[in-house]
């Protein structure tokens, strides 16, 4: 087996997925080194989780930069310092610029709380509930410039019952996220994914 790859997590909030990733790295369920956590919000609980796990972390305030490109350049600078091979978005609430994405072709993952291409965007759980679908779920996909639109690596369905509220559905979805995201990350880390157009195959 080749050398372990280094990765960074970008997070803006609570960091539930980050915690699942930290745990999976510790248990060697993800065979890669989590080197760095970056947040665009100084108050993100994800940063506390990183500190508790002794992982280097940095918060970068977008308001300190004239535009997205300048902000992205700063993030990339940190990635360079930590030799980052691939990137995992975990509740990261900003879009990445074209330059950024070009630096990491098929090396940036995101997780979305719906079965893409349904319910793109930040209100996916509430929208699925309001629409009345009986099944929603979780998607792990590669990041491209257009939001929630890259090739899909993995999906798992979550049924919606008549008793579900936004809160109970979110709990069910997050449970599934914390299970499937580490698996998908490990596949990428072990170079198990082959991408042909929009289709992603497991070697
Ligand atoms: C998750 O539901 C994820 O699918 C979405 O943002 C949420 C992040 O939650 N992209 P957390 O910060 O990982 O707890």
CATH number reported for the structural domain that contains residue 175 in this entry: 3.40.50.170
Q: What's the pTM?
A: 0.97
Q: What is the pLDDT of residues 106-123, one digit of tens each?
A: 999 999 999 999 999 999
Mean pLDDT within 160-176: 98
Q: Which atom of ligand 1 is the closest one to the Cα of 14?
A: 12
Q: Give pLDDT, residue 114.
A: 99
Predicted confidence band at 184 (pLDDT cuts at 50, 70, 90)? very high
Residue 148 has pLDDT above 60, yes or no: yes
Nearest CA to ligand 1 atom 7: 91
Percent of the chain past pLDDT 90, that is, above it, reads: 99
Q: Rounded to the nearest whole angstrom, what is the distance from the C-alpha of residue 192 to the centroid of ligand 1?
A: 24
Q: What is the pLDDT of residues 33-77, one digit of tens each?
A: 999 999 999 999 999 999 999 999 999 999 999 999 999 999 999
Q: For the chain, what is the domain count?
A: 1
Q: Give pLDDT, residue 41.
A: 98
97 lines ligand 1 (CB under 6 A): no
Q: Rounded to the nearest whole angstrom, what is the distance from the C-alpha of residue 170 to the centroid of ligand 1?
A: 10
DSSP sequence for 155-200: EEEEE--TT--HHHHHHHHHHHHHHHHHHHHHHHHTT-EEEETTEE
Nearest CA to ligand 1 atom 12: 15
Mean pLDDT within 146-166: 98
CA–CA distance, 148 with 135 (Å, rounded to integer): 19
DSSP-derived 3-state class of residue 98 = helix
Residue 185 has pLDDT above 70, yes or no: yes
Tell me which H or E stretch contains 33: strand 32-39
Mean pLDDT within 185-193: 98
> Cβ(16)–Cβ(91) under 8 Å?
yes
Q: What is the pLDDT of residues 77-105, one digit of tens each?
A: 999 999 999 999 999 999 999 999 999 99
Give the list of residues 6+ apart from residue 101 with CB closer than 8 angstroms, or none: 108, 143, 144, 145
Predicted confidence band at 1 (pLDDT cuts at 50, 70, 90)? low
Residue 2 has pLDDT above 80, yes or no: no
Mean pLDDT within 5-16: 98
Q: Give pLDDT, residue 173.
A: 98
CA–CA distance, 194 with 55 (Å, rounded to integer): 30
Q: What is the domain range of residue 71?
A: 5-202
Give the list of residues 6+ apart from residue 196 with CB closer than 8 angstroms, or none: none
């Amino acid at each position: 087996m080749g050398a372990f790859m280094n990765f960074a997590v970008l997070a803006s909030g609570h960091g539930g997925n980050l915690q699942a990733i930290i745990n999976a790295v510790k248990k060697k369920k993800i065979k890669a080194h989590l080197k760095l956590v970056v947040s665009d919000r100084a108050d993100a609980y994800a940063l506390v989780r990183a500190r508790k796990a002794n992982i280097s972390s940095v918060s970068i305030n977008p308001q300190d930069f004239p535009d997205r490109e300048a902000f992205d350049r700063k993030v990339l600078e940190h990635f360079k310092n930590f030799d980052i091979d691939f990137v995992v978005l975990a509740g990261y609430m900003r879009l990445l610029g074209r330059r950024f994405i070009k630096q990491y072709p098929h090396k940036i993952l995101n997780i979305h709380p719906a079965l893409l291409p349904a319910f793109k965007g930040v209100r996916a759980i509430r929208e699925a509930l309001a629409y009345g679908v009986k099944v929603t779920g979780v998607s792990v996909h590669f990041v491209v410039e257009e939001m929630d639109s890259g090739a899909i690596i993995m999906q798992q369905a979550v049924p919606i019952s008549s008793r579900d509220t936004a809160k109970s559905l979110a709990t069910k979805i997050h449970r599934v996220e914390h299970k499937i995201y580490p698996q998908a990350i490990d596949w990428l880390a072990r170079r198990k994914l082959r991408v042909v157009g929009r289709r992603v195959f497991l070697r």
